[in-house]
């Protein structure tokens, strides 16, 4: 065995989208505004995943404007419709769909006026990127003009949407129930190099394949996978909140070790789109599922590399070295017994 041993491991995973074993809900308001811009108000705040951009893309697509034309209101219990919480891999699914429904509702108002103005069937209207037109005609105008016409006819193009996900509670005796209406699945492969002298493990590559239903912003999805993988790697190899009789000994980043730029592997994301049939957008989610398979894939890779099975996270250098010693002793005993 040479000093640096490489190996590979994999792990699969599954996850439920939105709140568990309950009915989940989210509401949103939409308005096509002057200048062909748009206002969306819903109980959402960016927590880093890129939800504001995702919602602006959804609104732009549904309303026929540009994402940069969309303003998303603040999340304020006194000013915005309820969309519940920022967690449970629910924002794209729950709030994304409620925004889509609100935008469609606003478009119904706008389209009725424009169709009447042009004398065409409202079903023939299409809008994209700041323009609205009637199919199979030469009729076309900017969204700015369309909003103006709509308002001059006495109609403000507003809409609202509410989206529901139907989960059911679990039976208290046997746990049966349908906790989510949408599930995602994933699989990651990890390649590691273990230094059998220091016990240090480097993760060199991760191949992460995840079903997201529909990727609204593929680069944003990759960002979620990359962040999830590195949190998974931290838990796999170094992070450990330690307590002694209730007092922590890891009260700062000098003691509580986090992955840095030097620890991260190359992360190769593969997005799978198996659309959700129960929602208007077909998108599911990725925030949490991304990190589920990382730690076991890394443990399986460590085993592949050096034959040491780490069953207690994190796989610190000390545990790796102890595992190697135990393995050698075991092999020695076996060897001895055979003599």
Partner 1 sequence: MSSLDMELTVNGRAVKRPAKARMRLLDFLRDELNLTGTKEGCGAGECGTCSVFVDGKLVKSCLMPAAKANGATIETVEGLAKRGGLTYLQQAFHKTGASQCGYCIPGMVMAATGALRENPHAGLDEIKERLGGNICRCTGYSKIFEAVELARDVMNGALPVTALDGPGAGASYIGNNVRRLDAPSKVTGALKYAGDMVMPGMLHMQVLRSPVAHALIKSIDISEAEAMPGVECVITADDVPGEDGFGVFVHDQPIMARGRVRYVGEAIAAVAAVDVETAMAALGKIKVEYENLPAVFDAEAAMASGAPVLHDYAPDNIVKHIPIRKGDVEAGFADAELVVEQSYETQPVEHAYLEPEAGLAYVDHDGVVTVISPSQNITHHRHMLAKIIDRPINKVRFIMSPVGGGFGGKEDMIYQGMLALAAMKSGLPVRLVFTREESIISTAKRHPARITYKMGLKNDGRITAVEFRMISDGGAYGLSTEGVMRKAAILSCGPYDIANVKIDTHGVYTNNTPSGAFRTFGAMQAQFATESHLDICAGKLGLDPFEIRRVNMMRSGASTHTKQKLGSVSLGLALEAAEKASGWESGPSVARGGVRGDLGRAGNREPCTLGARIRTSHDVDTKEDIA
Site for partner 1 in 139-168 (CB under 8 A): none
Among 58, 101, 146, 150, binds partner 1 (CB under 8 A): 58
- Based on CB atoms, which residue is closest to partner 1, 2 or 138? 2
Of 180-219, which residues contact partner 1 (CB under 8 A)? 183-189, 191, 193, 196-200, 202, 204-205, 207-211, 214-219
Nearest-angstrom CA–CA distance, 70 and 38: 5
Question: Least separation, in Å, of the C-beta of 118 and partner 1?
Answer: 24
In this structure, what token pair is assigned to residue 181?
């209406």
The reply on whether position 40 binds partner 1 by CB under 8 A is no
Dihedral pair phi/psi, residue 97, rounded to 5°: -70, -35
Binds partner 1 by CB under 8 A, chosen from 270, 326, 329, 330: 270
Q: Which residues pair with 40 in a beta bridge?
A: 30, 72
Report the alpha-carbon distance of residue 106 to residue 32 in Å, rounded: 7
Interface with partner 1, residue 78, by CB under 8 A: yes
Of the candidate spans 7-15, 34-42, 136-144, 148-156, the one that interacts with partner 1 by CB under 8 A turns out to be 7-15
Under the binding rule (CB under 8 A), the answer on residue 251 touching partner 1 is: yes
Strand partners, 189: 10, 207
Residue (147 or 295) nearer to partner 1, CB = 295
Is residue 20 left, alpha or beta, with left meaning phi > 0 and alpha meaning psi from -120 to 50? Answer: beta
Examine residue 135 and tell whether it contacts partner 1 (CB under 8 A).
Answer: no
Rounded least distance, CB 167 to partner 1, Å: 10
Measuring CA to CA, which residue among 82, 92, 106 is closest to residue 53? 92
CB nearer to partner 1: pick between 158 and 185: 185
Angle at alpha carbon of residue 231, lines to 223 and 228, rounded to 5° = 30
Interface with partner 1, residue 249, by CB under 8 A: no
- Residue 75: left (phi > 0), alpha (psi -120 to 50), or beta? beta
Region for 154 from its dihedrals, namely left if φ exceeds 0, alpha if ψ lies in -120 to 50, beta otherwise: left
138 binds partner 1 (CB under 8 A): no
Total length of the chain: 339
| Contact residue for partner 1 among 86, 95, 114, 134 (CB under 8 A) | 86
14 SS3 class: strand
Q: In whole angstroms, how close is the CB of 107 to partner 1 at the nearest point?
A: 15
Nearer to partner 1, 138 or 311 (CB): 311
CB of 119 to partner 1, least distance (A): 29
Q: Which of 115-125 are b and which e, b meaning 16 or more Cβ less than 10 Å from the residue's Cβ?
A: beebebebeeb
What residues does 56 pair with on adjacent strands?
none
End-to-end CA distance of the chain: 23
Q: Does 228 bind partner 1 (CB under 8 A)?
A: yes
Residue from 124, 148, 231, 280 touching partner 1 (CB under 8 A): that is 231
232 binds partner 1 (CB under 8 A): yes
Catalytic residues: 288
Q: Quote the least distance from Cβ 22 to partner 1, whole Å.
A: 10
**Of 95-124, which residues contact partner 1 (CB under 8 A)?**
none
Please provide residue 47's backbone torsions phi and psi, each rounded to the nearest 5 degrees: -110, 10
Taking residues 287 to 306 in sequence order and writing x for each that binds partner 1 by CB under 8 A, - otherwise, the string is xxx-xxx-xxx-xxx-xxxx
**For the purposes of burial, counting CB atoms within 10 Å of the CB of 71, is it exposed (0-12), middle (13-18) or buried (19 or more)?**
middle
CB 35 within 8 A of CB 91: no
Comparison of 35 and 223: residue with beta carbon closer to partner 1? 223
Q: How many CB atoms lie within 10 A of CB 252?
A: 7
Candidates 23, 34, 85, 135; binder of partner 1 (CB under 8 A) is: 85
Task: Choose which of 139, 158, 313, 322 interacts with partner 1 (CB under 8 A).
Answer: 313
């Amino acid at each position: 065995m040479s000093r640096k041993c490489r190996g590979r491991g994999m792990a699969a995973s599954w996850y439920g989208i939105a709140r568990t074993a309950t009915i989940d809900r989210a509401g949103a308001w939409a308005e096509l505004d002057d200048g062909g811009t748009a206002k969306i108000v819903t109980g959402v705040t960016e927590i880093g995943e890129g939800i504001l951009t995702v919602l602006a893309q959804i609104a732009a697509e549904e309303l026929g404007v540009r994402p940069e034309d969309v303003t998303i209101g603040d999340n304020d219990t006194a000013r915005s419709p309820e969309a519940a919480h920022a967690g449970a891999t629910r924002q794209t699914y729950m709030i994304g769909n409620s925004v889509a429904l609100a935008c469609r509702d606003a478009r119904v108002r706008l389209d009725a006026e424009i169709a009447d103005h042009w004398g065409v069937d409202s079903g023939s209207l299409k809008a994209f990127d700041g323009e609205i037109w009637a199919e199979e005609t030469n009729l076309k105008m900017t969204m700015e003009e369309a909003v103006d016409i709509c308002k001059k006819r006495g109609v403000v193009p507003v809409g609202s949407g509410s989206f529901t996900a139907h989960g059911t509670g679990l039976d208290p005796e046997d746990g049966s129930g349908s906790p989510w209406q949408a599930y995602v699945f994933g699989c990651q492969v990890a390649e590691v190099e273990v230094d059998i002298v220091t016990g240090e493990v480097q993760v060199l590559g991760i191949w992460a394949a995840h079903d997201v239903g529909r990727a609204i912003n593929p680069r944003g999805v990759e960002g979620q996978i990359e962040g999830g993988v590195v949190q998974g790697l931290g838990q796999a190899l170094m992070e450990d909140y330690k307590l002694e009789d209730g007092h922590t000994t890891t009260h700062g980043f000098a003691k509580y070790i986090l992955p840095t730029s030097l620890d991260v592997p190359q992360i190769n994301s593969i997005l799978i789109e198996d659309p959700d049939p129960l929602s208007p957008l077909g998108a599911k989610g990725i925030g949490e599922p991304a990190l589920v398979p990382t730690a076991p894939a890394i443990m399986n890779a460590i085993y592949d590399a050096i034959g040491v099975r780490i069953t207690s996270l994190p796989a610190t250098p000390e545990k790796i070295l102890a595992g190697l010693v135990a393995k050698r002793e075991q092999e020695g005993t076996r060897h001895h017994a055979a003599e």
